C-alpha cells in the first residue's frame, strides 16, 4: 500500500464519523477503495488495530484531516457541477419540447386555415358545384345581401328582396358557408345560398 493510498483510505474512514448521509457514502467509498487496493476485511481490521496500538500522532492526524478536507471540497465541487449540468440539460429539454409544441400548433393552425378557406377568391380549389345554365334562384329571405366576394366582410354590391329571381351560376363553399354566385346589374356577386330557393 502506497502512502497516497493509505491517506485516501484514512480520509474516507474518518468520514465514517460524519452525519448519517455522509457516513453511508463514506462506508461505500471505503469498501470500494479496499477492493481496488486488494484489501480484505481482515487487512482493514489489522490496519485499524495497528493504528490504535501505535497511538495517535498529531502530524498523522493533521495529514488525515487535511486529506479529508480536500476530498470533501472536491466532492462538493463535483456535486455542484453535476447539478448545474443537470439543470442545463433539463432546461434544454424543456425548451426543445416547447418549440416542438409551438411548431405543431402553428402547423395545425395553418392547416385549419387552409381547410376552412384561406383564400377569399373562388378558385378551382374551392369546393364548388357547377349548376346547369339558366338555373334560377328565388329569394326567400326578407333581404339578401350581395357581396363582391363570398365573404361577409367584402364590399356590398346590392340587396335583394323576397320574391326576386336571379340566375345562379354555381355554388361554392368558403369558411363553412355556402354561397351562390349570381349576376346583378352586369356584375358578378355572391349571396348566401341559404337565402335562395333554387328552381
Give the CATH number of the domain where residue 187 resides: 2.30.30.40
122 found inside a domain: no
In a 3-state reduction of DSSP, which class is residue 102?
Answer: helix
User: What is the pLDDT, as a whole number, of residue 150?
Assistant: 93
Write down which residue in 28, 52, 86 finishes a domain.
86
52 found inside a domain: yes
Helix (H) or strand (E) holding 178: strand 177-184
Q: Cα(198)–Cα(180) distance, rounded to whole angstroms? A: 10
Q: Cα(171)–Cα(188) distance, rounded to whole angstroms? A: 13
User: What is the pLDDT, as a whole number, of residue 19?
Assistant: 65
Look up the pTM and report it: 0.36
Share of the chain above pLDDT 70, in %: 61
Question: Does 127 have pLDDT greater than 60?
Answer: no
Sign of the C-alpha dihedral computed for residues 122, 124, 128 and 129 taken in this order: positive
Angle at 188 between CA 187 and CA 191, to 5 degrees: 120
Share of the chain above pLDDT 90, in %: 11
Write down which residue in 28, 56, 86 finishes a domain.
86
User: What is the pLDDT, as a whole number, of residue 95?
Assistant: 82
Q: Are 177 and 163 in contact (CB under 8 A)?
A: no
Domain that holds residue 193: 128-198
Q: Are residues 28 and 81 in the same domain?
A: yes
Amino acid at each position: 500500500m502506497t502512502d497516497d493510498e493509505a491517506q485516501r483510505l484514512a480520509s474516507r474512514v474518518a468520514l465514517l464519523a460524519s452525519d448519517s448521509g455522509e457516513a453511508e457514502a463514506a462506508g461505500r467509498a471505503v469498501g470500494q477503495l479496499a477492493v481496488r487496493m486488494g484489501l480484505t476485511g481482515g487487512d482493514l481490521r489489522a490496519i485499524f488495530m495497528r493504528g490504535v496500538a501505535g497511538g495517535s500522532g498529531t502530524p498523522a492526524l493533521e495529514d488525515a484531516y487535511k486529506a479529508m478536507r480536500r476530498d470533501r471540497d472536491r466532492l462538493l465541487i463535483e456535486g455542484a457541477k453535476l447539478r448545474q449540468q443537470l439543470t442545463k440539460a433539463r432546461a434544454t429539454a424543456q425548451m426543445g419540447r416547447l418549440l416542438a409544441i409551438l411548431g405543431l400548433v402553428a402547423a395545425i393552425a395553418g392547416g385549419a386555415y387552409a381547410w376552412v378557406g384561406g383564400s377569399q377568391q373562388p378558385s378551382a380549389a374551392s369546393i364548388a358545384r357547377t349548376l346547369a345554365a339558366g338555373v334560377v334562384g328565388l329569394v326567400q329571405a326578407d333581404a339578401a345581401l350581395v357581396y363582391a366576394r363570398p365573404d361577409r366582410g367584402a364590399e356590398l354590391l346590392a340587396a335583394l328582396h323576397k320574391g326576386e329571381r336571379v340566375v345562379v351560376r354555381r355554388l361554392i363553399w368558403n369558411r363553412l358557408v355556402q354561397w351562390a354566385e349570381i349576376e346583378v346589374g352586369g356584375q358578378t356577386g355572391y349571396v348566401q345560398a341559404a337565402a335562395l330557393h333554387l328552381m
